[in-house]
């Protein structure tokens, strides 16, 4: 299948283009041109912007579904909802829980992928836990915290048929460095999270193979001028990627700007969204905890933030407003940077010849008008 997209603006990998046409051929992007052949098929989006599909590498659930429900239906419903939010790729994300519940969730994701996801496509599973420590536990259940086990991970990876691509842990736990060295050699990306680790401990974890810091400033030892902590390690290492939640509650806008000034394209916008996303205020659950959402902020009964209810496109919109950077730059923090963080940037995350044709059409208010995955339109607003 071959067609051209016409639009007012295109967010290409290396620049913004005004006007023109973008070729889509056999599910991949072709060249950007100023004229099209006679009789060419054209998708006309005059008045709109075409951008790469968003990639949420850290999402637990949305619209009252959660990966930890442990059902194929939950995974498929999350997938089906995401394209209307401009998301074309995601990593279904687990929580610290019992071994039984984690296995159930892993198998549900695998089965959902095997049966075929109706919307956004999974690029693998993200295990957030259970190898964390108490001090910065957030909404993770400490009853199931334990030291990293390569044997346990191998068992889960076999259940997942190799689909686990990312694991988060606290590097101060005994056995972490050995675990990181082994697992990172298996094309699995190690993230540092829910940790009270020192700067030096984090540096050792990076040397062993850790490459990502999870939700910067949240769930980690803070920045101090004599003790840089996990935050300092995240900001001061130019090889690692750093996730950030730009909902205005988890991180102050000025601190998000500071993080970008330091990390630039290594900053990764995520949601950490849980089942209350797109839902009204009220009572929900996150793993084993009861959660109350008020004014779109989800908290446990003890007052800890419990994930977020952010959508990724709203995170982009927020950071675009806070940073006053070009939309081309900000957008790629939620598309190309996430793809790069798990080694998928050569296939996904930007509009470039040869890459998979995942794209979204937005208006001037960031409202998603249409979403396509590998060139196939899978969502279009009803009033279009």
Show the CA angle centred on residue 217, arms to residues 241 and 163, nearest 5°.
45
For position 19, what pLDDT does the model report?
Answer: 96
The first and second tokens of residue 300, run together, are: 């446990």
For position 287, what pLDDT does the model report?
Answer: 82
Compute φ and ψ for 343, nearest 5 degrees: 75, 25
The predicted model gives 315-333 an average pLDDT of 97
Please tell me which residue, 1 or 41, carries the higher pLDDT value. 41
Chain mean pLDDT for the chain:
96
Question: CA torsion 20→24→25→30, rounded to 10°?
Answer: 60
Measured distance CA(324)–CA(130) in Å, rounded: 38
For position 40, what pLDDT does the model report?
Answer: 94
By three-state DSSP, how is residue 174 classified?
coil
Q: Residue 372: is its pLDDT beyond 90?
A: yes
**pLDDT class for 170, splitting at 50, 70, 90?**
very high
Q: CB neighbours of 313 closer than 8 A, spacing ≥ 6?
A: 54, 85, 86, 87, 334, 362, 366, 368
Neighbour-count burial for 94-130, b at 16+ CB within 10 Å, e otherwise: bbbbeeebbbbbbbbbbebbeeebebbbbbbbbbbbb
The predicted model gives 45-53 an average pLDDT of 98
For position 302, what pLDDT does the model report?
Answer: 83
Residues classed as catalytic: 272
For position 384, what pLDDT does the model report?
Answer: 61
Q: Residue 149: is its pLDDT beyond 90?
A: yes
- 2-51+350-380 CATH, one of 3.40.50.300, 2.60.40.10, 2.120.10.70, 2.30.40.10: 2.30.40.10
Residue given tokens 């190898």 in the structure block: 131
- Closest Cα to residue 240, out of 337, 369, 151? 337
For position 268, what pLDDT does the model report?
Answer: 98
By three-state DSSP, how is residue 222 classified?
coil
Measured distance CA(234)–CA(254) in Å, rounded: 17
- Closest Cα to residue 183, out of 159, 160, 157? 157
Q: CB neighbours of 103 closer than 8 A, spacing ≥ 6?
A: 156, 159
Show the CA angle centred on residue 34, arms to residues 32 and 37, nearest 5°.
95
For position 373, what pLDDT does the model report?
Answer: 98
Measured N-to-C along each axis, helices 150-159 and 176-184 cross at an angle, to the nearest 10 degrees, of 40
The predicted model gives 371-384 an average pLDDT of 91
Fold of 54-341: TIM Barrel (3.20.20)
Q: Residue 334: is its pLDDT beyond 80?
A: yes
- Closest Cα to residue 191, out of 175, 218, 203, 209? 209
Residue intervals of the chain classified under CATH 3.20.20.140 are 54-341
The predicted model gives 364-374 an average pLDDT of 97
Measured distance CA(341)–CA(234) in Å, rounded: 14
- Per the CB < 8 A criterion, the answer to whether 6 and 44 are in contact is yes
Least confident of 138-147, 157-166, 346-355: 138-147
Q: Residue 288: is its pLDDT beyond 90?
A: no
The predicted model gives 23-39 an average pLDDT of 95
By CB atoms closer than 10 A (0-12, 13-18, 19+), residue 357 is: buried
**pLDDT class for 131, splitting at 50, 70, 90?**
very high
Residue intervals of the chain classified under CATH 2.30.40.10 are 2-51+350-380
Measured distance CA(157)–CA(213) in Å, rounded: 22
């Amino acid at each position: 299948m071959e067609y051209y997209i016409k639009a007012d603006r295109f967010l290409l990998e290396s620049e913004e283009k005004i006007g023109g046409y973008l070729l889509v051929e056999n599910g991949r992007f072709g060249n950007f041109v100023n004229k099209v052949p006679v009789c060419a098929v054209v998708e006309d989006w005059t008045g709109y912007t075409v951008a790469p599909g968003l990639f949420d590498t850290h999402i637990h659930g949305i619209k009252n579904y959660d990966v930890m429900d442990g059902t194929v239906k939950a995974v498929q419903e999350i997938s089906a909802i995401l394209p209307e939010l401009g998301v074309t790729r995601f990593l279904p994300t687990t929580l610290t829980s019992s071994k039984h519940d984690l296995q159930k969730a892993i198998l549900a994701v695998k089965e959902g992928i095997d049966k075929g996801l109706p919307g956004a496509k999974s690029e693998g599973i993200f295990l957030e836990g259970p190898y964390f420590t108490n001090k910065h536990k957030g909404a993770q259940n400490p009853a199931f915290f334990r030291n990293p086990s390569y044997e346990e991970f191998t068992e889960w990876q076999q259940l997942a048929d190799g689909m686990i691509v990312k694991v988060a842990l606290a590097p101060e736990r005994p056995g972490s460095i050995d675990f990181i060295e082994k697992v990172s050699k298996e094309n699995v990306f190690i993230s540092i999270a829910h940790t009270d680790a020192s700067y030096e401990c984090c540096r050792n974890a990076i040397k062993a193979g850790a490459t990502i810091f999870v939700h910067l400033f949240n769930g980690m030892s803070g920045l101090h001028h004599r003790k840089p902590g996990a935050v300092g390690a995240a900001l001061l290492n130019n090889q690692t990627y750093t996730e950030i939640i730009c909902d205005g509650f988890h991180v102050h806008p000025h601190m998000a700007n500071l993080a970008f000034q330091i990390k630039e394209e290594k900053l990764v916008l995520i949601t950490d969204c849980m089942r209350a996303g797109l839902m009204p205020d009220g009572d929900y659950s996150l793993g084993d905890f009861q959660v109350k959402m008020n004014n779109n902020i989800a908290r446990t009964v003890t007052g800890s933030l419990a994930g977020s209810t952010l959508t990724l496109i709203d995170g982009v919109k927020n950071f675009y407003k806070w940073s006053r950077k070009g939309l081309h730059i900000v957008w790629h923090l939620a598309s190309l940077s996430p793809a790069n963080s798990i080694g998928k940037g050569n296939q996904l995350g930007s509009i470039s010849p040869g890459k998979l044709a995942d794209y979204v059409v937005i208006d001037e208010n960031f409202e998603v008008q249409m979403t396509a995955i590998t060139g196939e339109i899978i969502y279009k607003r009803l009033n279009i």
